[in-house]
Amino acid sequence: MTIAEAQQQVDEWIKTIGVKYFSELTNMAILTEETGELARHIARMYGEQSYKKGHEPAEDQKKLVLADEMADVLWVLLCLANQTGVDLTAALESNFEKKTIRDTSRHAGNEKLK
């Protein structure tokens, strides 16, 4: 699925099953909440944090939880893009160009990355 298709499918889902979009401000708050849930899971999978007793997913479920948390973040971002009229495909293409121009030699010259 392309980004444009994802934007379209989210829009169709919102209008048929979700009834209507939450306000942009509400969706921004939800995006922050979902990002926090993703951060919590990553901190426990890859960092020093531990899961609360009884809340740790089974080992074979951890990647599925990670993927689901990422998808939650992407979903709300797609909602915000739709609501604000942002074409995420064009925005990402533009962002690649910006980063390429800005960072052409920046990372290659970074001693911390060698």
pLDDT at 111 over 90: no
What integer is the mean pLDDT of 58-63? 94
Residue 110 CA to chain centroid, in angstroms? 27
Q: Report the CATH number at residue 81.
A: 1.10.287.1080
What is the spatial distance between Cα 4 and Cα 75, in angstroms, rounded to a whole number?
13
Angle at 70 between CA 73 and CA 103, to 5 degrees: 85
pLDDT at 62 over 90: yes
Per residue in 66-103, pLDDT (tens digit) is 999 999 999 999 999 999 999 999 999 999 999 999 98
Domain of 32?
A: 3-113
* pLDDT, mean over the chain: 96
Give the pLDDT score at 106: 86
Give the pLDDT score at 12: 98
What integer is the mean pLDDT of 57-68? 95
Q: Could you say which DSSP state residue 86 is in?
A: -
The residue behind tokens 């499918």 is 9
Please state, as a whole number, how many other Cβ atoms lie within 10 Å of the Cβ of residue 50.
10
Residue 36 CA to chain centroid, in angstroms? 11
What is the spatial distance between Cα 95 and Cα 89, in angstroms, rounded to a whole number?
10
pLDDT at 104 over 90: no
- The domain tally of the chain equals 1
